[in-house]
């Protein structure tokens, strides 16, 4: 079994694989496109992000372990969707990091941290500007769109802050933790109307593209906040800019954009009460290690002929 490892998520932790006792396994690390093109030809397993060229070259590939939880590359990579190569992802590795980042964005909005930071740079004690402006999340309702591993990590932390939690998902699961009930997507309007904070943690699919458009945003309370931490493209960015500029939304925090990097000409840069982070919600040393731990577990399962963790339905896109 030849396994090709690319310099991507978790590469600093590839040493975790050194103690694998799998007869005949060959681990090959590549760092350049040229090395990848040479080594992928007879590889059985690939850890990295696939492309059409890679699939064309890797005729022996049987399994691809994506380093990410989201696999929206499937939307354009029909070569992978239509072949027999098994695809798995790192679902579950990013939950703690994104869960924490969600609340970093939320607290920055509710406690006006950017305004305080700006006053600090100006050597100005901004008590008179900011006092009587902060709000609490205690007792408020959080609505989560997409109740997978990331949504659950967010909900777990929300419950710790004594929030009520609602959720919608394409495949609602009875008895899901940290929430009284997970509704089907047909209840999205109800979630938007009832929530004080809406968190987008769903995968990007053909069905979820621009799911949160002008009509959906209009259902939200004017004092509500929108936090987007999964994938860009789920929220219509022009509609979000309109809602913020018109005061129909209290604020928003986004870690992802439909096109990344976000264009310098995007209206979002200047939208009021919006905090933008550059797709760093899922980034942490601990997450990097978890990605390789998932790979390690799956390599052992693969060698034993067992079902792999985090199998992706390539046609559904998650």
Per-residue CA distances from 109 to 112, 195, 258 (Å): 5, 16, 22
Rg of the chain (C-alpha set): 21
Active site residue 237: no
In this structure, are strands 225-228 and 251-254 parallel, antiparallel, or unpaired?
parallel
- What separation, in Å, do the N-terminal and C-terminal C-alpha atoms of the chain show? 26
- Token pair 């792999």 is at which residue? 308
- Token pair 């219509």 is at which residue? 236
Catalytic residue among 111, 210, 267, 279: 279
The tokens for 223 are: 């004092």
In this structure, are strands 141-145 and 197-200 parallel, antiparallel, or unpaired?
parallel
Sheet holding 274-276, edge to edge: 182-183, 164-168, 141-145, 197-200, 225-228, 251-254, 274-276
Catalytic residue among 231, 237, 288, 290: 231
- Smallest CA-to-CA distance from 220 within 262, 245, 190, 200 is with 190
In this structure, are strands 26-30 and 45-47 parallel, antiparallel, or unpaired?
unpaired
- Residue 313's contacts (CB-CB under 8 Å, 6 or more residues apart) are none
The tokens for 110 are: 């509710």
Catalytic residue among 173, 181, 207, 260: 260
User: Per DSSP, what are the bridge partners of residue 2?
Assistant: 26
Active site residue 231: yes
Active site residue 210: no
So which residues are the catalytic ones?
231, 260, 279
């Amino acid at each position: 079994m030849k396994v090709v490892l690319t310099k991507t998520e978790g590469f600093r932790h590839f040493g975790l694989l050194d103690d694998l006792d799998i007869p005949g396994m060959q681990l090959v690390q590549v760092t350049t496109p040229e090395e990848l093109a040479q080594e992928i030809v007879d590889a059985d397993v690939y850890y990295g992000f696939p492309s059409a060229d890679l699939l064309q070259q890797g005729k022996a590939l049987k399994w691809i372990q994506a380093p990410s939880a989201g696999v929206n590359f499937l939307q354009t990579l029909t070569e992978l969707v239509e072949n027999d190569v098994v695809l798995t992802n790192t679902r579950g590795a990013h939950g703690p990091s994104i869960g924490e980042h969600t609340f970093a964005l939320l607290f920055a909005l509710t406690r006006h941290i950017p305004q305080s930071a700006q006053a600090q740079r100006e050597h100005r004690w901004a008590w008179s500007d900011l006092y009587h402006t902060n709000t609490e999340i205690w007792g408020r309702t959080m609505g989560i769109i997409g109740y997978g591993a990331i949504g659950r990590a967010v909900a777990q932390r929300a419950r710790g802050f004594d929030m009520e939690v609602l959720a919608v998902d394409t495949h609602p699961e009875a008895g899901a933790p940290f929430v009284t009930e997970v509704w089907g997507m047909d209840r999205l309007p109800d979630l938007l109307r009832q929530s004080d904070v809406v968190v987008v943690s769903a995968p990007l699919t053909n069905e979820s593209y621009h799911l949160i458009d002008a009509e959906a945003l209009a259902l939200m309370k004017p004092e509500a906040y929108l936090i987007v931490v999964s994938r860009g493209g789920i929220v219509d960015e022009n509609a979000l800019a309109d809602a913020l500029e018109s005061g129909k939304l209290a604020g928003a925090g986004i870690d992802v954009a439909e096109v990344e990097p976000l264009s310098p000409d995007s209206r979002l840069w200047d939208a009021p009460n919006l905090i933008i982070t550059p797709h760093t919600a899922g980034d942490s040393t601990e997450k990097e290690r978890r990605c390789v731990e998932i790979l390690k577990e799956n390599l052992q399962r693969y060698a034993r002929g067992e079902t792999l963790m985090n199998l992706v339905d390539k046609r559904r896109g998650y």
